[in-house]
Structure 1
Amino acid sequence: MINLLKEVARGKRGARDLDFGEAAAAAEAILNQSATPAQIGAFLVAERIKLESIEELEAFVSVSRKFTRREQVQEGLDCAGPYDGRIRSFAATFPTAFLLAAAGLPVTLHGSAPLPPKWGITLQDIILEADIPLSALSRYSSIHAARRSGVLYASSEEWCPPFGKIRGIREEIGMRTIFNTTEKLLDYSCSPFIVFGIYHNTVFDRLARLMIKLGYRKAMIIQGTEGSEDLYIDRPTRVYKVENGAAGLDIIDPEALGLDTPVPELVWDARLQLTTAEAVLQGGGHIAFYNQVLLNGAVRLHLAGRVGSIEEGVYTCKDLLDGGKAWDSYNAWKNALLSEPPVTHQV
C-alpha cells in the first residue's frame, strides 16, 4: 500500500493515476484492512485531491462487488442516490420506487446511516421512521420483501460488510472519497438499468464512460436535487443517457409535460420525508411532490422500456397513484419486512 500511496500522493503535479491492477490492489488492501487506518485515510484524501480516473473507479467498483453479497433477486432498475442524504429536498425516489413496482418494474434502493460530507437524511432514516426496525432490514428479510412487493432495499453495510468496517475512517475524514461513488455502483440485484445522481456536471462524461464499462443495458446520469437521481419539478434537469455504448446530453423539462410546479421551502426531517411520501403514494399530498413523483416515475419507466414515451409514463403513473396500486405496493413491502419470512433456503 505504501508504494501505491506514493504514486497518488506526490502533490498536484507529481501524482499520477493508477492503472486498473494498481487501483484494484489498493481497493483490496482497504477493504480487507491489510492497510493501516493511517494509510487508508491518506490514500482516500490523496485520491480526492488528485481526482479519481475512470480506470480507478472501475477497479474500486469491481473489487467492492467481490466483497458484496449480490443476488439476482429481480431484473429491474437500480436507483443510485447519495448515501450522505438530503438536507433541503424531498427524497422522491422513495415513493417512486413503489410506484414503479406497481407498474411492474422491480426497483432496488440502497443506502446506509448518514455519511459525510452532507450528513443528511438518508433512505435508511426514512425507513426506520416508518417503524421498521433495523433488524428487519437484514439481507434475508429484504429479499423476502422484494419478492412480495418488487422493491428491494439493500443496507450497504449488511450486504457489503467491509464498508461498515471503514465507516469510522470515512467519518473522521469528513469529505467525499472514492467510496461516495463506488458504494452507489455495487448493483446488489444485478440490475440492467440504473439512474445515477450527480452534483457537478463536470463528471457527466467520465461517469458515462464508466457506465459503459460496467455493462449496464441503459443508464441515466442525472444532475438532480442535491446531487440525487431525482429530477427537479420546478426547472429543467440535465441528464446523460447511456445506451449501446454511446452517451448524450438531454434536458428533461417538466414544463413541457405540464408538470412544472413551485416547490415550497420546508424544514425537512425523517418524519416529514415519510409523511410526504406516504401522502403522495395515497394519491394526495402537496402537488409539487405529487408531480415530482409522477415525473420521476414516468422517466424511469421510459428508460426501462416499459412505456413508449415519457408522456405515456405520466398517464400510467397517475392511474397507479390515484387508483391506490402504488400504496398497495408500499404496504406489501412494509408488511413483508415486518413479518417473519418463511425459511426456505439460506441466502
Structure 2
Amino acid sequence: MSNIFRELLKKVGSGNHTGENLTRAEAAIATKMILLGEATPAQIGAFLIAHRIKRPTGEELAGMLDAYDELGPKLQPINATSPVMVLGIPYDGRTRTAPISPVTALILAAAGQPVVMHGGDRFPTKYGLPLIEVWQGLGVDWTALSLPQTQAVFEQTKIGFIYTRHHFPLTKSIWEYRDQLGKRPPFATMELIWCPYAGDAHLIAGFVHPPTEGMFQAALELRKEKNYTLIKGLEGSCDLPRDRTAIIALSASPDLERLFLSPHDYGFTTKNVPLGTTEELITQIQDVLLGKPGELTQTALWNGGFYLWRSGICSDMRSGIAKTEELLTNGTVAAKLQELSQIVKSASENTLQHI
C-alpha cells in the first residue's frame, strides 16, 4: 500500500465537510502513481470514484495533464504556417449521431491545415464507435504504426493519430478500472484537452455539461494555453450540431469570447444525421468524399466551413463553407484520403517486414 497515495485519497474522499481539492502538484503525483501502478487496486478504484463524486477542479485537471505530459507520447513539431489543430474527442465513442471529424480532418489537411487526433478502441462506459474504426473503414489503419512511423505520416500528410493502446500503454489500467466501476472518472474529462503535440497547437475540445467549460478554461489558463476552442458538440465531441444553435467559446483574455452559430442562418436543415451501422456510415462518408449531395454532406459542409474559418484559412463561415464544397466536389479531399491511406499502408508493410 502507498501511504502517499492514501493521503491524497483521504483529501478527495472525505466528503463535503472535510474533503479538500488537490493542488496541481498533488493531482500530478496521484495521476503518475495510478499510471505507474504505484497505488493498490483498492486505492485506485476508491480514488477514481471519490474524485468523480467530488468533481475535478481546473487546477486538478492541469496537474493530471502535467502527468500526461511527463509520461505520455507526443508528436514532434512539424513545419507549419499555423498552429496544429488538436481535436479532443471522447474516447468512448459515438452511439447516436454520425461522427464527421475524420472528414473534417481530411478537409483541413487538404487545405494545408495540420491536424492531430488521439484515441483508442471501443472503451467503457459507452463502448461507442471510436474514431479508429472509422479510419479503418476508410482504409487508414493507424493501429499498426509505431510513434516514429506516425510522426513520418504526420509530416507527409499533415494528419497524425496517437493510438493510445500502442503509443501510451500506461493508460490501459485506467480503462480496466473504468470498465469495472461503470463510471467515467475525471480522466475522461482531462483527455479532451490533452495535447499530444510538442509544437504550437490550437486545442479543440468538445463538452456536454456547461460546468466542464469552466474547468477547461481554468486548466488551460494555468498551463498557459492561449489558443483553444470549446464546443458544446454532438455527444461531447468537436462536431457542430445541426439540431440546435452551436454554442462555442473562443480563447480570449481574460474572458472567453462567446459565439452562437445557427445552422438555419447558413441554409442548413436543423437535424443531425443518426448513426446506423459502421458499414452504413462508411458508405455515407464515401459519398461525401465523392461530393454527392446528402445529409452527411451537409454536416461536412457545416463543420468544414467552421474549422476552415477558425484555422484562419478562410475569412468567415460562408467562405469556409464555399471552400469546403469546392474541396469536396473537385476531388481534393478524396485525393488526400487516398494519399493518407497509401502512406499508412506502406508504413504498416514496412513494420511487418521487420517482424
Q: TM-score, normalised by structure 1?
A: 0.92
Partner amino acid, structure 1, of 2:231: I
Question: Greater CA deviation, 37-46 or 299-308?
Answer: 299-308
1:121 equivalent in structure 2: 129
1:229 aligns with 2:238: yes
1:301 aligns with 2:305: no
Over residues 128-179 of structure 1, what are the superposed CA-to-partner deviations in whole Å (9 max), with x where a residue is unaligned?
3345556523323322222222111111232222112332122111211111
Deviation at 1:201, TM superposition (A): 1.6
CA distance in 2, matches of 1:37, 1:127: 34
Over residues 21-61 of structure 1, what are the superposed CA-to-partner deviations in whole Å (9 max), with x where a residue is unaligned?
22121112111111111111110100000000111100001
Structure 2 unaligned blocks of 5 or more = none
CA distance in 1, matches of 2:58, 2:133: 31
Any residues of structure 2 matched to 1:36-185 within 5 Å, and which? 36-74=40-78, 75-133=83-141, 135-185=143-193
Partner amino acid, structure 1, of 2:258: L
SS in 2 for 1:195: strand
Structure 1 residues 295 and 133 mapped into 2: Cα distance closer, same or farther (>3 Å)?
Answer: closer
Residues 6, 43 of structure 2: 8 Å contact kept: yes
The one of 255, 263, 277 aligned to 1:246: 255
CA distance in 1, matches of 2:281, 2:224: 33
CA distance in 2, matches of 1:218, 1:234: 27
Residues 283, 290 of structure 1: 8 Å contact kept: yes
CA distance in 1, matches of 2:168, 2:182: 21
SS in 2 for 1:115: coil
CA distance in 2, matches of 1:242, 1:60: 21
1:272 aligns with 2:280: yes
Percent of pairs with identical residues: 27
Deviation at 1:250, TM superposition (A): 2.0
Residues 143, 166 of structure 2: 8 Å contact kept: no
CA distance in 1, matches of 2:341, 2:139: 9
2:264 equivalent in structure 1: 255
What is the Cα-based RMSD across aligned positions, in Å?
Answer: 2.0
1:197 aligns with 2:206: yes
SS in 2 for 1:56: helix
Structure 1 unaligned blocks of 5 or more = none
Structure 1 residues 241 and 6 mapped into 2: Cα distance closer, same or farther (>3 Å)?
Answer: same
SS in 2 for 1:71: coil
Structure 1 residues 209 and 305 mapped into 2: Cα distance closer, same or farther (>3 Å)?
Answer: farther
1:333 aligns with 2:340: yes
Deviation at 1:270, TM superposition (A): 2.5
Q: TM-score, normalised by structure 2?
A: 0.90
Partner amino acid, structure 1, of 2:16: K
Residues 232, 247 of structure 2: 8 Å contact kept: yes
1:314 equivalent in structure 2: 321
2:222 equivalent in structure 1: 213
